[in-house]
Amino acid sequence: MEIADWGKILLPYEQAVDELLIKFERLKKEFERENKHSPIEIVAGRVKGVGSILEKANRKNIPYDRIEEEIEDIAGIRIICRFVEDIDRVIQLIRRRDGKDIFISEERDYINNRKKSGYRSYHILVRYPIIMSKGKRNVKAEIQIRTMAMNFWATIEHSIKYKYSGNVPDDLQAKLQALAETAYNMDMEMGTVRGEIMDAIRIIEVKNKLVDKIRDKIERLHRDAGFEQLDEITKKFYDVYALNDNKQLIEFDEELAIIASLYKV
């Protein structure tokens, strides 16, 4: 395998990551459009760098000409969730696509069976078909699903492992294992106030949507119907907004709807 070949080799992986990113982003949008809590908070994707691929091949004694067969995470997607419960919902969403646009080859549950390092995450290994100019290719990809707390821990631990080239001193390793438990306990605690957090998020989302509706009505009244009392209505809007009460915003929006119908907007 020539070093100059890598650009070409990685092309299908890049395409798979791009397509999968779009698909998971669209799923997230679907939930948001329906005013439902999205189990997907953040989606990220990357194609492993050549240095990282070679390092993994050396670490696992994989001959360079077997890299594509043996390394499962050249294409990687990471889905970050707010709550541990959301991880299960994401797994179900992916399983529902199995055999359609995604083909699951293996699932690795490092949440119930955490790694010795303390690492927690749910991995789904898939084959993802892409169409290139020369035809179809099934690209291997790894989807990692984890909470924000698990991700925070994994990011920190990854950098430390990199700094010590994998030979992390025992005391630091023990500290990291303890921190992994702290992160997991936080996830568990968050789960107990999930309802409260979701209510708070919903209130903010409703408020932001109301503000957009009100702004749009005022804009149309001014632009399409020559409504002139802009200063007055703007002041009233800011006063109502300052009350921090969605009911007042709803009433103001209804008043505006009456004015809009009088102006035939």
Residue of 191, 163, 157, 159 whose CA lies nearest to 177:
157
Q: Which of 82, 120, 123, 217 binds ligand 0O2 (CB under 6 A)?
A: 123
Alpha helix (H) residue ranges in the chain:
6-33, 50-59, 67-70, 84-97, 148-163, 170-192, 194-225, 230-242, 246-262
State which residue, 13 or 119, has the beta carbon closest to ligand 0O2.
119
How many residues contact ligand 0O2, by CB under 6 A?
A: 12
Catalytic residue among 2, 32, 142, 196: 142
Specify the stretch interacting with ligand 0O2 by CB under 6 A; choose among 62-70, 115-123, 216-224, 242-250. Answer: 115-123
Regarding 158 and contact with ligand 0O2 (CB under 6 A), the answer is yes
Q: Does 163 bind ligand 0O2 (CB under 6 A)?
A: no
Going from the C-alpha of 93 to that of each of 6, 24, 201, 255, the distances in angstroms are 33, 10, 22, 42
Report the residue number, 7 or 49, with the smaller CB distance to ligand 0O2. Answer: 49
| Alpha carbon 159 to chain centroid, angstroms | 21
Q: Which CB sits closer to ligand 0O2, 24 or 119?
A: 119
CA distances from 82 to 104, 118, 150, 186 (A): 24, 19, 10, 11
Under rule CB under 6 A, residue 56 binds ligand 0O2: yes
Regarding 175 and contact with ligand 0O2 (CB under 6 A), the answer is no
- When binding is defined by CB under 6 A, the residue of 115, 163, 215, 235 that contacts ligand 0O2 is 115
Confirm or reject binding of residue 29 to ligand 0O2 (CB under 6 A).
no
Our measurement of the distance from residue 16's CA atom to the centroid of its chain's CA atoms, rounded to an integer in Å, reads 17
Query: Can residue 86 be called a binding residue for ligand 0O2 (CB under 6 A)?
Result: no
Who's near 43: CB < 8 A, 6+ residues apart? 21, 24, 25, 28, 77, 78, 79, 80
Which listed range, 10-18, 80-88, 95-103, 116-124, lies at the site for ligand 0O2 (CB under 6 A)?
116-124
For residue 142, indicate whether it is catalytic: yes
SS3 103: strand
Q: Which residues bind ligand 0O2 (CB under 6 A)?
A: 48, 52, 56, 73, 108, 115, 117, 119, 123, 154, 157-158
